[in-house]
Amino acid sequence: MMLTRRVTAAVIAFAVLAGCVDPGEQGQVDGTEAGAEFTPIILQPDGVSQGENMGFPYGTAKTKVVVMLEHFGPVHQNRNEECGAGPMDSASSFATGLTANFQDGELVGWFYDGDGKWAQTAHDITVGSTRSALEQAMPFEMQTDSTLGIEFFSGSGEAGFIGGFLTDDSENATIESLYSGTNCFFR
């Protein structure tokens, strides 16, 4: 049964990558039966979650997060020894566009630049959301000194934060990517 679910998820993920199907039309790609409603990944200031009982806060073991990502299809794992924050492992789901970052075997951050159908914040903000929607959903500040692009930042402290990049600095700008926690940005 588990093998069948994994094969089904892999076939659906391949079809999605090939542009043959829409993830919202195929049911949940995370290993549940076809026909069920698709449950997007929730991008949080302190980790990620998927479904009501599947939380992955910072500090979660890498193996657990990788298993969740594998429900969507193949996961590419990488190690970067030259991050400013120290050596970092990453696991990237090409189907979703989510990259999870790990240090010492624990989740420490994420980066998302995939199709907005796959992941969103608790406030329904995702890649492709407008600056106007962002302004209505959560307070944020522009990072005027960013060397990486047109960057914004929302939140801080123990609850964490969500940052991201806009296509431009106009009112009609859209979100290109989102991130939280520790990432390997070279500023």
- 160-182: pLDDT as tens digits: 899 999 999 898 999 999 999 99
Q: Quick check: 25 pLDDT over 70?
A: no
pLDDT of residue 51: 78
CA-to-CA separations, 70 to 76, 95, 115, 126, in angstroms, rounded: 10, 10, 17, 21
Task: Please say if the pLDDT value at position 66 is more than 50.
Answer: yes
pTM summary value: 0.78
User: Which residues are CB-contacts of 47 (< 8 A; sequence separation ≥ 6)?
Assistant: 55, 56, 57, 58, 60, 107, 110, 160, 181
Quick one: which of 154, 150, 156 has its CA closest to 176? Answer: 150
Most confidently predicted of 28-32, 96-100, 146-150: 96-100
Pick 73 or 34 by higher pLDDT: 73
- CA distance linking residue 170 with residue 37, whole number of Å: 35
